[in-house]
Structure 1
């Protein structure tokens, strides 16, 4: 909980420490914050040195992660009683400049709903473990749909026949990944051997989860072509509960909105006792991504496929020190 109601440097560091608990593609944490004491404004920028040119050539995934961090920032600011004003892409000709958040906007309404999600910030983790075959209640599903809508995105739980089509596309994507040397190398560059180093980014081996030997749940195998000694096998759920997150348009501002919607959904899901993981494999292949849409509606751009349910929490993954991702200026 933020312990500093005033906007001194310690309070700003606490805000950013909460913001960077957000998920990002391969835990690359591709963000940087700049705080201006004079303007009481935080600026969020993309760190394109942490982009993934093979799996994410348009940086769509990078923007989603930064959008998730932005939602976390808004959440912890609301919890501290700060009325904020957020502007996306304030300098359109500067692609790295993603958003500004004025922390002293007295005429803005306080988002009480966001404030209530603060506790989930540090409880939310990606779980690459089997989930129970227990259906998420309709009331919880409806609340998650509403959470996404509040951030300008659409969340839709996949029907049985659409789920099967999406799972088939994910299998194709995983096959493409295995045959692509450059993608395999890129993913491997973002995995970490926790016994040999103290990682601050990337996916450590203890977070890979078990090897899937049965079930239909889509789980990315971060070991890739490697075999890790001692890694156990497990059967996953036969009927995974998947949801698609879509936006009407498909540009950088939409990706940032989708990232905020994604994180708002994840925080609410965590608050409701759910666990989650991502099934983004097919999204990383342009010829498969457009096929992920529900053919009945046929509209919207799929930004993420989520796997939700009841099961064990995943382990905490490392984060870069705040001093690496925050600059404070007069």
Structure 2
């Protein structure tokens, strides 16, 4: 009988911890049970104010699951993934069991290599457009994971999104509890979690088309405004159940790694999803019957510093 071992668990976890998570809270743990690699939620790392319902936690765990899948496939030991496999254990998010051995595909190799290079880049991007063939690769990456991706084209669509995003951002900035929680994850003394100032966006200015979360960044250098016409992607799913949000997390990571492999940078814009009226307004503006799960900007930019990660040994449990 095929079974994963501790080396497989460590390989999967080492890739999984590189996934994105809101405020770099890293709400995951991993274990080996009955020859399967299991992805677990760490409820103590769920953001109680910003993510009381667990949407962001599940997106992060879906992204971590996708990275684990890639690591196992890269090693020639691909996994069959079952999401929410135990109704009695809500913290058990995914169980990865061994599929027949095979060599990794070229795409799996490329995406696995992109894991270490992918991180949020909150700095301005260059105005160079993203080629049409790359845009199609991003859309296809979401589709194969059971999600949809709309890329906003033209200033009419971007201006509409900008209004929704800034409105949601203002709501969150007026929420004292939300801001207090945000501060606890900003430039922390910890070297393994939260958002360091070096990775923060510059202080917002009136001309900025898109809102940036305030992680304590400084003033931008002269002439370093954000791109005037950014490429914004909105990723969504047909449903909004827990399993849909996990699927969205896998799709998001597939898209982000595809972008990284193409030489692009990205950063998340979650405010329109966090504020329910804004999310509904965004859905209507897209003409979609499904549910937007995350928005992001993507483009060409200078690499910036990555947020830190916990050691693999700290996220493996018995």
For residue 57 of structure 1, the aligned residue among 52, 55, 64 is 52
Task: Indicate if the aligned counterparts of 1:131 and 1:310 stay in contact, CA closer than 8 A.
Answer: yes
Report the CA distance between 1:284 and its aligned residue.
0.8
* Compared CA separation, residues 107 and 232, structure 1 to 2 (3 A): closer
Q: RMSD over aligned Cα, in angstroms? A: 2.0
Report the CA distance between 1:52 and its aligned residue.
1.4
Mark the runs of 5 or more structure 1 residues left unpaired by the alignment: 1-5
Corresponding residue of 2:253: 263
Corresponding residue of 1:141: 135
SS of corresponding position for 2:317: strand
Separation in structure 2 between the aligned mates of residue 79 and residue 23 of structure 1, nearest angstrom: 20
Report the CA distance between 1:237 and its aligned residue.
1.3
Task: Indicate if the aligned counterparts of 1:162 and 1:294 stay in contact, CA closer than 8 A.
Answer: no
Separation in structure 1 between the aligned mates of residue 317 and residue 62 of structure 2, nearest angstrom: 19
Residue correspondences, number = 312
| 1:51-130 pair list within 5 angstroms | 51-102=46-97, 104-106=98-100, 113-130=107-124
Query: Is 2:300 the counterpart of 1:310?
Result: yes
Separation in structure 2 between the aligned mates of residue 220 and residue 248 of structure 1, nearest angstrom: 28
1:10-69: CA deviation from partner (whole Å, max 9, x where unpaired): 443132111110000110000010113xx3211111111111122112101110001000
Task: Indicate if the aligned counterparts of 1:130 and 1:311 stay in contact, CA closer than 8 A.
Answer: yes
| 1:184-199 pair list within 5 angstroms | 184-193=179-188, 197-199=189-191
Task: Indicate if the aligned counterparts of 1:84 and 1:101 stay in contact, CA closer than 8 A.
Answer: yes
For residue 289 of structure 1, the aligned residue among 279, 283, 299 is 279
Mark the runs of 5 or more structure 2 residues left unpaired by the alignment: none
For residue 26 of structure 2, the aligned residue among 29, 52, 57 is 29
Task: Indicate if the aligned counterparts of 1:54 and 1:186 stay in contact, CA closer than 8 A.
Answer: yes
Separation in structure 2 between the aligned mates of residue 296 and residue 272 of structure 1, nearest angstrom: 26
Task: Indicate if the aligned counterparts of 1:126 and 1:277 stay in contact, CA closer than 8 A.
Answer: yes
1:58-86: CA deviation from partner (whole Å, max 9, x where unpaired): 10111000100000000111111112111
Query: Is 2:313 the counterpart of 1:323?
Result: yes
For residue 220 of structure 1, the aligned residue among 195, 203, 213 is 213
Corresponding residue of 2:202: 210
SS of corresponding position for 1:64: helix
* Compared CA separation, residues 109 and 148, structure 1 to 2 (3 A): farther
SS of corresponding position for 1:211: coil
Separation in structure 1 between the aligned mates of residue 171 and residue 149 of structure 2, nearest angstrom: 27
Separation in structure 1 between the aligned mates of residue 284 and residue 72 of structure 2, nearest angstrom: 36
Report the CA distance between 1:198 and its aligned residue.
4.2
Separation in structure 1 between the aligned mates of residue 261 and residue 211 of structure 2, nearest angstrom: 23
TM-score, normalised to structure 1's length? 0.89
Separation in structure 2 between the aligned mates of residue 93 and residue 159 of structure 1, nearest angstrom: 44
For residue 12 of structure 1, the aligned residue among 9, 14, 17 is 9
Query: Is 2:161 the counterpart of 1:171?
Result: no
